[in-house]
Amino acid sequence: MPTRDAAQLGQNPAPTYDAYLSTCPARQLVDRISDKWVTLVLPALADGPQRYSDLARRIDGVSQKMLTQTLRTLERDGLLTRHVTPSVPVRVDYELTPLGLSLMPLIASIKSWAETHMDEVSAARDDYDSDSSR
């Protein structure tokens, strides 16, 4: 059967791609999405389309360059779309595609984990740093 039965399972068997291999395209994709700004941009689009300025304001400290660059890359990879409203001044909205929507919750869980377990990580760092026998 040529249909993908495995797709119904949460855990897919080894596909044609393997990120452990340095030459595999998936390795480069892992590199792209395992990115600080991606981890902030995707969850920021969870509640529907957002204007460029909204994203810039929400994601504190991001430079225009990095925000634009990140959005362009995500657009090229098919994770979000860019809608330009030719008003004056111009208005640009970004929205997750179905593909982006499939990745977003996974990324959001990482961000959420960081926020939830920050205290434990801090404690571990203090513990590590205070051990003189290291």
Partner DNA sequence: CGGTATCCTGGGAGATACTG
Partner DNA sequence: CAGTATCTCCCAGGATACCG
Which residues of this protein are in contact with DNA, per CB under 7 A? 35-37, 51-53, 56, 62-66, 68, 71-72, 82, 89-92
Residue 85 vs 123, nearer CB to its own copies: 123
Give the per-residue contact string, 16-35, with its own copies (x = CB under 8 A; - = no).
xxxxxxxx-xxx-xxx-xxx
CB 70 within 8 A of CB 78: no
Q: How crowded is the C-beta side of 104, counted as CA atoms within 13 Å?
A: 20
- What's the rounded Cα separation, in Å, for the pair 104 and 32? 14
Q: How crowded is the C-beta side of 61, counted as CA atoms within 13 Å?
A: 3
130 binds, among DNA, its own copies, none (CB under 5 to 8 A by kind): none
Q: Does 58 bind its own copies (CB under 8 A)?
A: yes
* H or E segment and range at residue 51: strand 50-51
CB 50 within 8 A of CB 93: yes
Q: Which positions from 68 through 107 interact with its own copies, judged by CB under 8 A?
A: 75-79, 99, 102-103, 106-107
- The residues that touch its own copies, with contacts defined as CB under 8 A, are 11-12, 15-23, 25-27, 29-31, 33-36, 38-40, 44, 58-61, 75-79, 99, 102-103, 106-107, 109-118, 120-125, 127-129
